[in-house]
Amino acid sequence: MNVPAPIRDFLSVETPTSWVNSAVERVPELLLDHANCELKAASTALGLIYRYPERGALADRMSRLAREELRHFEQVRKIMREFDIPFERLSASRYAGRLKEAVREREPERLLDVLLVGAIIEARSCERFAAVAPRLPDALGRFYLGLLSSEARHFEHYLAFARSETGASDADVELRVAELLAIEASLVTGPDPEFRFHSGAPAGFSRPRLAAST
């Protein structure tokens, strides 16, 4: 896989081959959840601006990040239209839900956790794009490979702000990263009954309920 070195060194586990095998058989569902993920990523960035408007550097970066995520959303929607795949809103996945539950409520721990969860999600997205791209149709594979640099950049921004905006020591950041990555590793390697872009190892996934028009 062409995973950028900082991402490879950061994540504690690789995506299971069984997930990749399922993903290439469920491209319509993959695209649908990918579109939802881009929309939610933009929403997360906007949420940080609304909650912490006084943090100028963070707000400026999140504004740019939100625009980029929305551009990716538009690009995925365009691909979906080409395959005649209807868009629909999806509920939070097991992966996103569990990581959100791990975010602490009190400040500044809350901000630290939100930024670190953002970094983890961007890192996993980058790793999965790299894992699945070589096995997708050429145009879609090239599109996913083209997203690697932006996902890696978003990961680096979230991680940098976790260090600069929260007052946490390097040791505290590293400890919390390890705790959150342990949760994340269990989610991507453990059995998962639902197929999503960030789902775990297949556990009796039902047959794809979406089919691209030919």
Confirm whether 197 is domain-assigned: no
Q: Tell me, what CATH number does 155's domain have? A: 1.20.1260.10
Structurally, the chain folds into a number of domains equal to: 1
Burial bucket for residue 74 (CB in 10 Å: 0-12, 13-18, 19+): exposed
Whether the Cβ atoms of residue 7 and residue 152 lie closer than 8 Å to each other: yes
DSSP 85: P
How much is the pLDDT for 203? 82
The residue type found at 30 is L
Is 76 a residue whose pLDDT tops 90?
A: yes
How much is the pLDDT for 214? 38
Confirm whether 179 is domain-assigned: yes
pLDDT digits (tens, 9 = 90+) for 171-181: 999 999 999 99
pLDDT digits (tens, 9 = 90+) for 185-205: 999 999 998 999 999 988 865
pLDDT grade for 109, boundaries at 50, 70 and 90: very high
Q: Report the range of poorest mean pLDDT among 22-36, 52-66, 157-171, 200-214.
A: 200-214
Is 154 a residue whose pLDDT tops 90?
A: yes
Is 24 a residue whose pLDDT tops 70?
A: yes
* Look-up of token digits 């997930």: 19
**208 compared with 82, residue with greater pLDDT:** 82
Confirm whether 2 is domain-assigned: no
How much is the pLDDT for 81? 96
Confirm whether 138 is domain-assigned: yes
Whether the Cβ atoms of residue 126 and residue 151 lie closer than 8 Å to each other: yes
SS3 134: helix
Backbone angles phi, psi at 73, to 5 degrees: -60, -45
Q: What is the mean pLDDT of the chain?
A: 93
Question: For 109-164, where are the alpha helices, taking DSSP H only?
Answer: 109-132, 138-146, 148-164
* Look-up of token digits 């625009």: 67
Is 208 a residue whose pLDDT tops 70?
A: no
Question: For the chain, where are the alpha helices, taking DSSP H only?
Answer: 5-10, 17-25, 27-51, 56-82, 94-101, 109-132, 138-146, 148-164, 170-189
Confirm whether 183 is domain-assigned: yes
How much is the pLDDT for 57? 98
pLDDT grade for 30, boundaries at 50, 70 and 90: very high
Confirm whether 17 is domain-assigned: yes
Confirm whether 99 is domain-assigned: no
How much is the pLDDT for 205? 57
pLDDT digits (tens, 9 = 90+) for 111-132: 999 999 999 999 999 999 999 9
Domain that holds residue 117: 9-88+108-189
- What would the mean pLDDT of 22-40 be, rounded to a whole number? 96
Is 65 a residue whose pLDDT tops 70?
A: yes
Confirm whether 117 is domain-assigned: yes
Cis peptide before 137 (omega within 30 of 0): no
How much is the pLDDT for 207? 47
Could you give the C-alpha distances from 177 to 25, 34, 139, in angstroms and in order? 33, 25, 35
